[in-house]
């Protein structure tokens, strides 16, 4: 209500990433707003959770249809929200829609098991929803993350309160609008705005049954300590790509670019440690640098643009400081790594930088150890498979990894030894919604997408049915 909004002290200022101007102001949600959202979600859950999977699927398919019909509008909004190119934003909207369609398809398959016991007695299991779930999003895939979390949650019969990153607060609201238009009960999917305090209040609310979090490792650690409730954690990475001399070099170069420069390099699964076998290193570097230099940077709303703006000024400054640090530690800046000024004067205050390839990197360098989350590829050289595997796994993170080779036996052998949740052979950074995505080690707990996600958004109830008499010991 307007009265309550006036009482708010904390405000979020949202900037347009590609022009650097203030886009809007938002009030941070506090305890009262979250209590209200939880109450609404509980009421909605009482209706939605009792519906059959087929009934839920019908509404979700309608939401997917609306997304498709509003694809361009959502994509354009995402460009303004996040700074990524319109081409990529459209793919994000498609991924969100596909995810909702996929989990709508699974909704009617949720089932339990029947177990025969002695004397005609039996037990059965019921897969039940958890209740009201919290979704907390990062800023790199704002609309897509909201869909990747809400689709399995809703398919399993839950309600969800979603908090987008305050850096990209806009498009999750469109998703809420779309679910409402599709006919979900009021408050089944609600959005609360705010930063870490709002996130904490939401996660710690006693009526929040589960938290699904996407973000950094430090925040993920805090979220895991909020209470005894199930958590899904989709955290950061520092993923390796192993390029063997027997690979198709053209594909390996394409893969390395996909592994580093999607979404201005702000992708959790990015393969930022590119290990190249020594004998093909000069050829690989030459080609990768040539292609990187030709990436079209600038107005993300133009069809020809391949790299838009980073998400914020502080983040851009942080990424640039990593490049400077790399130089100090002895890496060669083979291209990019500088502020980029688009020719259009309207864009002069946007957060652009030229994509960067760092050569002559070693395992001890900061750029090789820490997640930069920007368009910075570190190239390292290796000699043997054993050595490459050892160095690739020498990290506390384990989100993704890639291998480029034409030797099928090597490919599977290497993948077997890579300690990462998502491994790619001769490709990188594809995320079909039918397959699970998530990390090993400190990169996370649980999975998003694929059938297994049903287990993270439901609970199993076992029911024992006695057909005889109680066999009492007393």
Ligand X SMILES: NC(=O)c1ccc[n+]([C@@H]2O[C@H](COP(=O)([O-])OP(=O)(O)OC[C@H]3O[C@@H](n4cnc5c(N)ncnc54)[C@H](O)[C@@H]3O)[C@@H](O)[C@H]2O)c1
216-235 footprint of ligand X as x/- string (CB under 6 A): x--x--xx----------xx
Assess 169 for contact with ligand X (CB under 6 A): no
Closest contact distance (angstroms) between CB of 399 and ligand X is: 6
Task: Name residue, tokens 């990169």.
Answer: 443
Residues 110 and 103: their CA atoms lie apart, in Å, by 11
Q: What is the largest CA-CA distance in the chain?
A: 87
Closest contact distance (angstroms) between CB of 262 and ligand LLXZKTRF is: 6
Q: Which is nearer to ligand LLXZKTRF, 45 or 373 (CB)?
A: 373
Q: Is there a catalytic annotation at residue 234?
A: yes
Closest contact distance (angstroms) between CB of 40 and ligand LLXZKTRF is: 28
Residues 142 and 147: their CA atoms lie apart, in Å, by 9
Residues 471 and 368: their CA atoms lie apart, in Å, by 64
Please give the size of the binding site for ligand X, defined by CB under 6 A: 29
Closest contact distance (angstroms) between CB of 185 and ligand LLXZKTRF is: 29
Closest contact distance (angstroms) between CB of 435 and ligand LLXZKTRF is: 12
Residues 393 and 396: their CA atoms lie apart, in Å, by 8
Residues 466 and 117: their CA atoms lie apart, in Å, by 9
275 Cβ partners below 8 Å, 6+ apart? 240, 241, 242, 243, 380, 381, 382, 388, 391, 392
233 Cβ partners below 8 Å, 6+ apart? 213, 220, 223, 224, 444, 445, 446
Q: Which is nearer to ligand X, 201 or 256 (CB)?
A: 201
> SS3 of 437, please?
strand
Task: Using alpha carbons only, give the angle 156, 126, 54 rounded to the nearest 5 degrees.
Answer: 40
Burial of 443 (0-12, 13-18, 19+ CB in 10 A): buried
Task: Name residue, tokens 């170069």.
Answer: 253
Assess 138 for contact with ligand X (CB under 6 A): yes
The catalytically annotated residue of 234, 287, 371, 385 is 234
Q: Which of 273, 299, 293 is nearest to 391 (CA)?
A: 273
337 binds, among ligand LLXZKTRF, ligand X, none (CB under 5 to 8 A by kind): none
Assess 161 for contact with ligand X (CB under 6 A): no
199 binds, among ligand LLXZKTRF, ligand X, none (CB under 5 to 8 A by kind): ligand X
92 binds, among ligand LLXZKTRF, ligand X, none (CB under 5 to 8 A by kind): ligand LLXZKTRF
248 Cβ partners below 8 Å, 6+ apart? 404, 406, 426
Assess 444 for contact with ligand X (CB under 6 A): yes
Closest contact distance (angstroms) between CB of 88 and ligand LLXZKTRF is: 8
366-385 footprint of ligand X as x/- string (CB under 6 A): -----x-x------------
Residues 447 and 445: their CA atoms lie apart, in Å, by 7
Closest contact distance (angstroms) between CB of 429 and ligand LLXZKTRF is: 4
Assess 215 for contact with ligand X (CB under 6 A): yes
387-416 footprint of ligand X as x/- string (CB under 6 A): ------------x-----------------
Per-residue tokens: 55: 């009934």
Which member of 163, 210, 391, 447 binds ligand X (CB under 6 A)?
A: 163
Assess 139 for contact with ligand X (CB under 6 A): yes
Assess 98 for contact with ligand X (CB under 6 A): no
Contact set with ligand LLXZKTRF (CB under 6 A):
92, 95, 140-141, 144, 262, 267-269, 429, 431
SS3 string, 33-75, reads HHHHHHHHHHHHHHHHCCCCHHHHHHHHHHHHHHHHHCHHHHH
Strand (E) or helix (H) holding 86: helix 86-107
Torsion angle, CA of 43/49/52/58, rounded to 10 degrees? Answer: 70
Residues 37 and 121: their CA atoms lie apart, in Å, by 43
Q: Which is nearer to ligand X, 45 or 141 (CB)?
A: 141
95 binds, among ligand X, ligand LLXZKTRF, none (CB under 5 to 8 A by kind): ligand LLXZKTRF
Active site residues: 234
Which chain residues interact with ligand X by CB under 6 A? 136-140, 163, 165-166, 195-196, 199-200, 203, 214-216, 219, 222-223, 234-237, 268, 371, 373, 399, 439, 444
């Amino acid at each position: 209500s307007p009265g309550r909004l006036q009482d708010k002290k904390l405000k979020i200022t949202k900037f347009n990433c590609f022009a650097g101007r203030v886009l809007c102001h938002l009030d941070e949600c506090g305890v009262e707003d979250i209590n209200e959202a939880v109450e609404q979600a509980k009421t909605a859950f009482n209706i939605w959770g009792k519906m059959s999977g087929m009934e839920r699927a019908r509404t979700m398919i309608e939401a997917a249809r609306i997304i498709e019909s509003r694809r361009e509008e959502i994509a354009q909004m995402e460009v303004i929200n996040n700074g990524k190119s319109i081409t990529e934003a459209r793919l994000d909207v498609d991924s969100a829609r596909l995810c909702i369609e996929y989990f709508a398809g699974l909704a009617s398959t949720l089932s339990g098991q029947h177990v025969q016991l002695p004397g005609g007695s039996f037990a059965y299991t019921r897969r039940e929803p958890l209740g009201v779930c919290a979704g907390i999003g990062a800023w790199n895939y704002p609309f897509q993350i909201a869909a990747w979390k809400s689709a399995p949650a809703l398919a399993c019969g839950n309600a969800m309160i979603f908090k987008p990153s305050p850096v990209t607060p806009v498009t999750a609201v469109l998703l809420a609008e779309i679910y409402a238009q599709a006919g979900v009960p009021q408050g089944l999917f609600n959005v609360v705005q705010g930063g870490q305090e709002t996130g904490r209040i939401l996660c710690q609310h006693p009526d929040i049954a589960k938290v699904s979090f996407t973000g950094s490792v430090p925040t993920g650690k805090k979220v895991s300590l909020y209470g005894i409730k199930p958590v899904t954690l989709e955290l950061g990475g520092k993923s390796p790509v192993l390029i063997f001399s027997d690979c198709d070099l053209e594909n390996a170069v394409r893969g390395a670019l996909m592994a580093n420069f999607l979404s201005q390099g702000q992708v959790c699964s990015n393969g930022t440690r590119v290990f190249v076998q020594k004998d093909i290193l000069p050829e690989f570097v030459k080609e990768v640098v040539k292609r990187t230099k030709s990436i079209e940077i600038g107005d993300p709303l133009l069809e020809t643009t391949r790299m838009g703006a980073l998400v914020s000024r502080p983040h851009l400054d942080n990424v640039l400081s990593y490049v400077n640090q790399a130089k100090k530690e002895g890496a060669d800046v083979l291209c990019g790594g500088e502020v980029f000024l688009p020719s259009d004067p309207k864009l002069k205050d946007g957060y652009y930088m030229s994509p960067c390839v760092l050569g002559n990197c070693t395992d001890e360098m900061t750029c090789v150890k820490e997640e930069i989350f920007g368009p910075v590829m570190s190239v390292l050289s290796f000699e043997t498979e054993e050595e490459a595997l050892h160095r690739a796994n020498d990290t506390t993170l384990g989100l993704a990894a890639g291998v480029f080779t034409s030797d099928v036996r090597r490919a599977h052998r290497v993948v077997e030894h890579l300690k990462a949740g998502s491994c790619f052979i001769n490709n990188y950074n594809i995320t079909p919604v039918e397959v699970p995505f998530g990390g090993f080690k400190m990169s996370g707990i649980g999975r998003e997408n694929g059938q297994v996600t049903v287990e993270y958004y439901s609970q199993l109830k076992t029911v024992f049915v006695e057909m005889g008499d109680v066999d009492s010991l007393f």
